[in-house]
Amino acid sequence: MKKVRLKWVKNRGLDHIIERDTDVKACCLLLEAIGRANSSSSSSSSSSSVAPVPARSLSPLQKGLGLTVPVLRFLRRYPTLFSELPHPRFPSLPSFSLTPPASILLRRLSSPCPSPSSPFHLRLARLLMLARSRSLPLSALSPLRFDLALPPSFASLLASSHPDLFRLSRRPSDGAPLLSLASYPAHLAVSALQLRHARSIASPSYRELRLPPSSAAAPLAFPMRFPRGYGGMNKVRAWMEEFHRLPYVSPYDDPAGIDPDSDLMEKRVVGVLHELLSLTVHKKTKRNYIRALREELSLPHKFTRVFTRYPGIFYLSLKCKTTTVVLREGYERGKLVEPHPMATLREKVHYVMRTGLLYRGKGLTRLVLDEDDHEVEEEEEDRAVNDDEDDVECYELEISEGEVASEEEEEAEMEEE
């Protein structure tokens, strides 16, 4: 199969979503941190009043929050969530507590979010099933907690609530804590792509039987969403036809018998990354989080080139001083195609954030948030994003028989853009 090198192109719509969700993630984690500090202080103190949390105690969280601004400036940006109060002992020390709407949102975020189609313990079980040893270190799973909508103490919670499925252990080499599968649930070994085409596979229609394997509408074909104005479309279509003709290998199958340098292995890698992103709530995650799972997922050393080589499936963003991978099929006109209940709840957090950003001190009087009703009246976004309309640049094509450029060269080209 000929290698087609595609130049990275910016997608303003998906970049806006990443920038927005980065702030939402930071707010949700700060809500947890302040709420946890308040609960510990109230339990240790006999008085019913809760002391505000100093901003400098939250500053070490900046890297984990993914913020490009200081934590103090970020807290002051959203007065509808974080109320600045003088510290009882040190009045000049900036301190913050949660506003009433923030307390309501924190209570909803902390409660288990029901999702009958995909509970969080089943999503985590599928992620462990993708691993070569059916286990992953907690140091690699903890950064994915927000993306997978896991509770703060998910490891101990799952080991106690589902002992037949999960087990906590330690790695013999260095004693690192591991979360492993106590048993292999074979009925969960169905990828998102197979579920997407389950009806077509079980009872294909006459039209589907006549479709060639290279057709995007054929069963088990990866959905492709190329940007408008895609350069050299005929060459790309010919390349994608060769790609779709290769047999689909489930990411849950053992790849031991596949040549590591073959095109079939590359298609399996695409399937593994597609399944990993499908397990996340927002259909995206940071590249560094995937890198921590590289060996267990049997990914190549320079797996980033897979994202740039298949831009119809993935989008690689450099927004917020990090590299984020997005599953294109998960978004339509700036919104999730199939929003998870936790994603809907986080949209309410964004509504409260945006109200405080627009109206500052008067934002609390403009909020529509009922404690007993889980519905929030949300306004439409001022900047409606459309993936198709925002892709105005074209890819530059280069047909080569050999290897494509290295990961470092690709990143350098992306940064130049």
Output the average pLDDT for the chain: 81
Q: Output the CA torsion sign for 194, 197, 203, 207.
A: negative
Q: In this model, does residue 390 exceed pLDDT 60?
A: no
The answer to whether 321 and 15 have CB atoms below 8 angstroms apart is: no
More confidently predicted of 198 and 154: 154
More confidently predicted of 288 and 220: 288
Q: In this model, does residue 213 exceed pLDDT 60?
A: no
Helices (H), 111-229: 120-130, 138-141, 145-148, 154-161, 192-196, 198-202, 206-210
Over range 266-283, report the average pLDDT. 95
Q: State the DSSP code for 179.
A: E
What are the tens digits of pLDDT across the range 57-95? Answer: 999 999 889 898 999 999 999 999 999 988 888 888 899
More confidently predicted of 376 and 129: 129
Instruction: Provide the β-strand partners of residue 86.
Output: 94
What do you get for the CA distance between the two ends of the chain, in Å?
28
Per-residue tokens: 70: 């200081």
* Cα within 13 Å of Cα(291), Cβ side: 10
Over range 334-361, report the average pLDDT. 91
What phi and psi values does residue 34 have, to the nearest 5 degrees?
A: -70, -40
Cβ-proximal residues to 120 (8 Å cutoff; 6+ apart), any chain: 113, 148, 149, 150, 151, 154
More confidently predicted of 247 and 378: 247
Cβ-proximal residues to 372 (8 Å cutoff; 6+ apart), any chain: none
Banded model confidence at residue 400, pLDDT cuts 50, 70, 90: very low
Q: In this model, does residue 209 exceed pLDDT 70?
A: no
Q: In this model, does residue 302 exceed pLDDT 60?
A: yes
The answer to whether 68 and 77 have CB atoms below 8 angstroms apart is: no
Radius of gyration of the chain (CA): 23
- Parallel, antiparallel or unpaired: strands 177-181 and 166-170: antiparallel
Tokens 């927005």 belong to 20
Banded model confidence at residue 387, pLDDT cuts 50, 70, 90: very low
Q: Which pLDDT does position 410 carry in this prediction? A: 52
Cβ-proximal residues to 90 (8 Å cutoff; 6+ apart), any chain: 54
Over range 299-304, report the average pLDDT. 91
Over range 187-193, report the average pLDDT. 92
Q: Which pLDDT does position 216 carry in this prediction? A: 52
Per-residue tokens: 198: 């389950």
Per-residue tokens: 224: 């492709």
Over range 393-397, report the average pLDDT. 44
Q: In this model, does residue 105 exceed pLDDT 60?
A: yes
Banded model confidence at residue 379, pLDDT cuts 50, 70, 90: very low
Q: Which pLDDT does position 37 carry in this prediction? A: 86
Tokens 């339509």 belong to 332
- Parallel, antiparallel or unpaired: strands 284-286 and 324-327: antiparallel
Range of lowest pLDDT (146-160, 211-225, 267-281): 211-225
Q: In this model, does residue 227 exceed pLDDT 80?
A: no
Separation CA 46–CA 72 (nearest Å): 29
Banded model confidence at residue 219, pLDDT cuts 50, 70, 90: low
* pTM given for the model: 0.85
Q: Which pLDDT does position 375 carry in this prediction? A: 43
